[in-house]
Amino acid sequence: MAKIIVVTSGKGGVGKTTSSAAIGTGLALNGHKTVIIDFDVGLRNLDLIMGCERRVVYDFVNVINGEATLTQALIKDKRTKNLSILPASQTRDKDALSQEGVQQVLNELGKTYDYIVCDSPAGIERGAQMALYFADIAIVVTNPEVSSVRDSDRILGILQSKSRRAEQGMDPIEEHLLLTRYHPERVEQGEMLGVADVEEILAIPLLGVIPESEAVLKASNQGTPVILDTESEAGLAYDDAVHRLLGEDRPLRFLEVPKKGFFKRLLGG
């Protein structure tokens, strides 16, 4: 049976789609058959980040409504083996997602895939609730600032009360914290919350810390998941997070302010 992972946050713009693309790609790179589903019906973005926007013919809502088969709608990733994308519909809204329809699609995908990554829309309304309802694992993407932390806290409450696992009294969803857009200098100056502060408030295990990096924006614009950029800190940090998700123990990196080199200091850089 496939593991269903929801990437969620409550707040918008914290890096859910970037993280879904990176983690989905990372799981596939490690040999697991993976599909990433865009649940953001009406605000389709995952296809852009994955660089497959020109290959979208059918979408998630078409499959739910029986207008297309899963095989027709799934887009195989050209760079990474074992990876597929199920794009969202751009012309519909979140009400098009019925619980039965979503369940049917997930069951069907579960037969062939090891991991199903659900890229949740922002908010706590229908789209977000559908994305998290069937999840086994939740990755809560949080930025180190108070409003993001509060929204993550809210979504954790929803995971614990409105998911299938909660409603049916099964084992609770496995929760992971992914701290993104982390800026060690600003933490040091007290402008940003530190890792410990966020961990203390949310009280769930830390999956990884992704440093703020120009590579993320560059990768998004190019349509390449940032995890494929093995020269960037963000790419390496996502790679660490994927390995932690798979059960490996890896130390945290990129939390310290980089020391200025001799020449940089000399030149006042």
Partner 1 sequence: MSESNFQFKGSVVTTILLEISHFDEMSLIAAIENKVEQAPNFFQMAPVIIDLSKLDQVINLDEFNRLLLHLKNLGLSPIGWRSHETNKPAWQDEVSLPLLPASKTRATRLENNVNQDKANPDVVIKTVVEEKRVAQSSKIISKPIRSGQQVYAEGDLIILSSVSPGAEVLADGSIHVYGALRGRALAGVKGDSNARIFCRSMEAELVSIAGNFILSDALQKILWKESAQVLLNDENLDVVAF
State the residues that interact with partner 1 by CB under 8 A: 150-151, 153-154, 156-158, 160-161, 200-201, 203
**Dist CA 28 CA 267 (whole Å):** 44
Instruction: Record the tokens describing residue 40, joined without a space.
Output: 């953001």
Nearer to partner 1 (CB atom), residue 188 or residue 200: 200
**Dist CA 158 CA 153 (whole Å):** 9
| Closest distance to partner 1 from the beta carbon of 33 (Å) | 34
Between strands 174-182 and 206-211, the pairing is parallel
Cα–Cα nearest to 101, from 16, 37, 188: 37
Nearer to partner 1 (CB atom), residue 31 or residue 157: 157
Nearer to partner 1 (CB atom), residue 41 or residue 124: 124
| Closest distance to partner 1 from the beta carbon of 204 (Å) | 9
| Closest distance to partner 1 from the beta carbon of 16 (Å) | 18
| Closest distance to partner 1 from the beta carbon of 198 (Å) | 12
Nearer to partner 1 (CB atom), residue 53 or residue 199: 199
- Helix 146-162 vs helix 126-133: crossing angle, to nearest 10: 60
**Dist CA 229 CA 255 (whole Å):** 19
